Amino acid sequence: MASKKRARKYIFVVGGVISGVGKGVTVSSIGKILQSRGLKVTAIKIDPYVNVDAGTMNPTEHGETFVLADGYETDQDMGNYERFLDVTLTRDNYMTTGRIYQSVIEKERNLEYKGRCVQVVPHIPLEIISRIKGAAEKADADVTVIEIGGTVGEYENILFLEAARMMHIENHDDILFVIVTYLPVPSKVGEMKTKPTQHAVRALNTAGIQPDFIIARSELPLDKKRKEKIAVFCNMRADDVISAPDVESIYDVPVNFEKDRLGDSILKKLNLRPKTTDLVDWRAFVDRTKKTKGDVNIAVVGKYFDTGDFVISDSYISVIEAIKYSAYAVGKKPKLTWLSAVDFEKDPKKLQQLKKYDGIIVPGGFGSRGVEGLISTIRYAREHQIPYLGLCYGMQLMVIEYARNVLGLKGANTAEIDAHAPHVVIDIMPDQKALLAKKDYGGSMRLGSYTAHLKPGSIVAGAYGAATASERHRHRYEVNPEYIEQIEKGGLVFSGKSADGRLMEFAELPKKAHPFFAGTQAHPEFQAHPLNPHPLFTAFMKVAAKAKGK
């Protein structure tokens, strides 16, 4: 049905002072509270780097690459938007400097600028604006919330701010600006400082933009005095300075914003009629996260945890969130431990630690680092009857482990690590071979949603409660067709296959052999939402929860 002509509204969210204080969660939460008031909401992420997409970046440095249903490789914030808003976003909702320049250059080469001189200003901001409006149009959104990556005052995002400013000149009534800043409480001083926020707002003013709201992130809530001080120095009303202290969980944020009536204030400024909020389901979920008693202990064993002296879980954020939703769904409090596979290689005795977990997950990954540690982990889970879920690489390594230790195929491996291994049980997909030979790495894997046909009566068919499952993918390698028969004869069941029957999408051991030992070539974690936990994770969690107290 064609939509009635109505003014689309846009909210730009920018960052000040420091990065990493929750712009993505602010965008998701503003989106959620507007959605809860009956508006159609979509969200856009703008990343200022030159990479055309997020697929070529190292997860230990940039965090997880989030894959959209249409196969676009994006930033982890897109995952937050999808999870909070319970929507499926598209490639139109994501852009980088690289992508913008690439398309302006393509248009120039195609003579689409009709002989004009193509300039950084205005052509780059105009391209940005046309993409923002296009995404809003396509989603038929009442409100589009746009996150501009980075912080104000740096070179990288200036053209995106310029695009936002130009949109605002064109239409004052339909556009709002939100700046997320940080107020430090230096331990020696013991007092919350507003000066960095004042500077950040001044930097934003220099770009021709005055914020409508300040989201004041800090360890502690903002007192009245500081709100008033910021209001005076930043030229705004104290009520529009929103206190955003640290919270236990990101899912508390929409509820906290509503406590400050942020929804009402936004609607008023956008000339939209305030509707009563309906965060009922969301509040019920948040309640569950606080009241659930009784732990389920899950170990995620991966290879992208350590960066210098820090351990980060950002590389597996979707997996971690998926575990949480399914734990709550089966009435347990998730206790997560991340273990580095490299440690198990250095000291195999450490594998004994795995005994204490109710379930083990090996998530996706690339390359050889830590792989032998992961294979030993999977062996331990299989031999000790610990529920196991393998995701992408986690399924490929499960096949390798089975081939080596059950079928006796010594030296079985993946071509990704050793193309000349005696048994290449995981091989490169034929169409991928040509791409790699051309060094065509960007956006060239098997990406996005594909449907698998599930074997009736299998664990996975039971989990999905369906004959097919559509999941997102991101891989170049597959189970080598030449070994399928031998592996199945040896007891590992390929319980889901691609529509043409060629690619092995799910593998499992029958229930009589192991309580839950299953893997998928896909990344189901990308479709797990708080209000819609993922059935495969939930099936795994049910068994893990029962394993408790064994």
Do 25 and 77 contact (CB within 8 A), yes or no?
no
Alpha carbon distance 142, 52 (integer Å): 28
Report which secondary-structure segment, H or E, holds 320: helix 317-329
Report the residue number, 22 or 364, with the smaller CB distance to ligand GLN.
364
Q: Is 476 in the site for ligand GLN (CB under 6 A)?
A: yes
71: which 2 tokens?
Answer: 């196969």
Report the residue number, 268 or 502, with the smaller CB distance to ligand GLN.
502
Alpha carbon distance 173, 144 (integer Å): 14
285: which 2 tokens?
Answer: 């979920």
How far apart, in Å, are the Cα atoms of 393 and each of 44, 100, 160, 398, 459?
30, 32, 37, 8, 20
Report the residue number, 436 or 467, with the smaller CB distance to ligand GLN.
436
Whether 525 is a known active-site residue: answer yes
Alpha carbon distance 351, 339 (integer Å): 10
Q: Is 416 in the site for ligand GLN (CB under 6 A)?
A: yes
Residues in contact with ligand GLN, counted by CB under 6 A, come to a total of 11
Whether 523 is a known active-site residue: answer yes
6: which 2 tokens?
Answer: 């109505």
Do 180 and 22 contact (CB within 8 A), yes or no?
yes
Q: Is 477 in the site for ligand GLN (CB under 6 A)?
A: yes
Residue 425 annotated as binding? no
Residue from the set 12, 66, 177, 366 that interacts with ligand GLN by CB under 6 A: 366
Q: Rounded to an integer, what is the distance from CA 173 to the centroid of its chain?
A: 32
Task: Indicate the residue whose CB is closest to ligand GLN.
Answer: 364
Site string for ligand GLN, 389-408 (x = CB under 6 A): ---xx--x------------
Token pair 């690489």: residue: 393
Residue 193 annotated as binding? yes
**Which range of residues in 174-182, 232-240, 405-413, 469-477 is near ligand GLN by CB under 6 A?**
469-477
Q: How far is the CB of 393 from ligand GLN (least distance, A)?
A: 3
Q: How far is the CB of 478 from ligand GLN (least distance, A)?
A: 7
Q: Is 475 in the site for ligand GLN (CB under 6 A)?
A: yes
Residue 46 backbone dihedrals phi, psi, to 5 degrees:
-110, 120
Burial tier of 443 (Cβ tally within 10 Å: 0-12, 13-18, 19+): middle
Query: At residue 280, what is the residue type?
Result: V
Catalytic residue among 453, 473, 523, 534: 523
Q: Is 364 in the site for ligand GLN (CB under 6 A)?
A: yes
Report the residue number, 326 or 396, with the smaller CB distance to ligand GLN.
396
Which residues contact ligand GLN by CB under 6 A?
364-366, 392-393, 396, 416, 474-477
Binding-site residues, please?
Answer: 19-25, 77, 147, 193-198, 229, 247, 365, 393-396, 416, 476
Binding-site residues for ATP, please?
Answer: 20-25, 77, 247
> Which residues are part of the catalytic machinery?
392, 523, 525
